[in-house]
Amino acid sequence: MKVAFYVRPSRDKGYLINLRVTLGVGEQYRFSTGQKVNNIKNWTGENVKRSRSEPNALQTNHYLSKLKNYLNASLYDLVKEQEEINKESIFKLLEGFKLSPQERQKNSSFDFCNLIGEFIDLGISGKIKKKDGNEYTKTTLIKGYGNLQKHICSYEKENGSIKVNKVDYKLYQDLLHYFDEVELEKASQSRLIKDFKSFITKAQLYFNIKFDNYKKELWVKPSGESLNTYYTQAELYKLLEADLSEIQNHKTKERVRDFFVMNALSFGMRISDLRNFNKYDRKQKDGYEVIIYKQQKTSAEVYAPITSLAKDILKKYDNKLELPSDQKCNEYLKEICEVAGFTKTLKLKDKKGDVIKSAKKYELTSNHTARRSFCTNAYKEGLDTLLIMSISGHSTIDSFLDYIKVTKEEFAERFAQTDYFKLMTSSAKPDLRIA
């Protein structure tokens, strides 16, 4: 699949810039972009050279770049969602691209990630300015709002587009849960919430978009614990044995379930790393096999032993790990875990013992729960923390301990099982020497 531009002579002076989308051999679709180049010598094949004869080159190139990026991302989404791609679906995407943010607000093509991108583009071009009339700096736009856009795009990729009427307190809670799942530190979460609130103000001001369900005072900086969950080894085997034959599209959902359990019991990978499983090197060691990969998030190299369970599940699917989109996997996992009976209500209490958050266990389950389950179970089994981190890829002990689901009582219980504690509580006095 390829998106490219080409030119053809105009009936008037100059050349029209057209769009060509190639889906495969012999399957091409052509569309007009509405853009023009005056002199054919100024066309590079991708954009327009800046010259006296091309006074609008900068704006034209900006438009073409945005259009190409938009189409590539949108077509990729259609492929992942297994939607049909044809001339009509591409034309619909192009119609959505032409809409203003205000028009998109009433259209299914609206999403928050694109809105942030549009604000950044307009700020860089100088078309929108601060209240005092000064231009936004590129640092503010790219480092600040660009970072916000990156995380919101990732959230939308897993959970679906954020529509105007969905910007509410539930979204705030969902974002915090997602930030926890992808292991963002509290300081980073606070900064993102601050930038999100700031952007809402700007979207209302510059794009005249009304977020009727948004209440600024409820979007406070995150602090303290968050409500999330993990699955014990027994629960994971129960999930693996659950009968899913009666639910719709059960074959695909069984595959999602199987690879979720495989990851939770064997690797603890982030979903972005798990998706590339088929590309990783596998090497035979003395009596066992390892998979070797570089984490997308940290670029850290990981050597992970392949368990017998992982080999059995991979063999079931001809050693090919294939999954639906992140968003579909999250939806399926919630349904699967509900069917499997994980409906217990989990509660988060404050220091006074009052319940501040609650949710069903299956509602808190997502792709990232497999990673949290792996780390927590390995820790509770007594594995050395640094050994677990070498498999999970956590970079610091603080981030690892903050990530796992272990209570203070369980920490104490684990300490009580150590040789040191047993030595200190033994009736026989240890041979102690003063240095």
Q: Do 345 and 379 sit in the same domain of this protein? A: yes
Q: Do 146 and 82 sit in the same domain of this protein? A: no
Cα pseudo-dihedral 199, 200, 203, 208, rounded to 10: -160
pLDDT score for 228: 84
Per-residue pLDDT band for 102 (boundaries 50, 70, 90) equals low
Choosing from 204, 225, 246, the residue where a domain stops is 225
CA nearest to 119, candidates 93, 141, 95, 94: 141
What single string gives the DSSP state of each residue in 9-23?
E-SSSSEEEEEEEEE
- On whether residue 287 sits in a domain, the answer given is yes
Q: Which domain, by its residues, includes 74?
A: 1-98
Give the separation between CA 168 and CA 154, rounded to whole angstroms: 19
pLDDT score for 215: 93
**Residue 207 phi, psi (nearest 5):** -110, 0
- On whether residue 425 sits in a domain, the answer given is no
pLDDT score for 280: 93
Per-residue pLDDT band for 428 (boundaries 50, 70, 90) equals low
Q: Do 11 and 125 sit in the same domain of this protein? A: no
With the C-alpha atoms ordered 135, 139, 140, 145, is the resulting torsion angle positive or negative? Answer: positive
**Contact between 345 and 364 (Cβ < 8 Å):** no
SS3 110: coil
Q: Do 125 and 258 sit in the same domain of this protein? A: no
Q: Do 321 and 370 sit in the same domain of this protein? A: yes
For residue 218, the one-letter residue type is L
**Contact between 347 and 335 (Cβ < 8 Å):** no
Give the separation between CA 167 and CA 162, rounded to whole angstroms: 7
The pTM assigned to this predicted structure is 0.63
Give the separation between CA 7 and CA 2, rounded to whole angstroms: 17
* Low-confidence winner among 224-228, 401-405, 426-430 (lowest mean pLDDT): 426-430
pLDDT in tens, 398-421: 778 777 767 667 767 767 776 767
CA–chain centroid gap for 407, Å, is: 28
Please list the helix, strand and coil fractions of the chain in percent, rounded to the nearest 5, in that order. Answer: 50, 15, 35
Greatest pairwise CA separation for the chain in angstroms: 101
Q: Do 196 and 242 sit in the same domain of this protein? A: no
414, containing H or E segment: helix 408-416
For residue 417, the one-letter residue type is Q
Give the separation between CA 222 and CA 188, rounded to whole angstroms: 10
Name the token pair of 341. 């009976």
pLDDT score for 216: 92
120, containing H or E segment: helix 112-125
Q: Is the pLDDT of residue 286 over 70?
A: yes
pLDDT in tens, 114-172: 888 888 888 888 888 887 788 888 777 877 888 898 899 888 877 777 888 889 998 99
- On whether residue 426 sits in a domain, the answer given is no
pLDDT in tens, 159-218: 777 888 889 998 998 898 888 777 787 788 899 999 999 999 988 888 888 888 999 999
Per-residue pLDDT band for 104 (boundaries 50, 70, 90) equals low
With the C-alpha atoms ordered 345, 397, 294, 150, is the resulting torsion angle positive or negative? Answer: positive
How many domains would you assign to the chain?
3
Choosing from 76, 98, 120, the residue where a domain stops is 98
Choosing from 191, 225, 259, the residue where a domain stops is 225
82, containing H or E segment: none
Under 8 Å CB-to-CB from 96, ≥6 apart: which residues? 74, 104, 107, 109
pLDDT score for 287: 86
- On whether residue 430 sits in a domain, the answer given is no
Under 8 Å CB-to-CB from 156, ≥6 apart: which residues? 111, 112, 113, 162
CA nearest to 183, candidates 424, 419, 398, 416: 398
Per-residue pLDDT band for 339 (boundaries 50, 70, 90) equals very high
Supply the CATH number for residue 332's domain. 1.10.443
Within 10 angstroms of residue 397's Cβ, the number of other Cβ atoms is 11
Under 8 Å CB-to-CB from 408, ≥6 apart: which residues? none
DSSP 8-class letter at 136 = P
Q: Do 143 and 275 sit in the same domain of this protein? A: no
Q: Do 19 and 76 sit in the same domain of this protein? A: yes
Cα angle 224-228-229, degrees, rounded to a multiple of 5: 135
Name the token pair of 65. 């770049």
Name the token pair of 54. 């091309």
Per-residue pLDDT band for 268 (boundaries 50, 70, 90) equals very high
Q: Do 367 and 254 sit in the same domain of this protein? A: yes
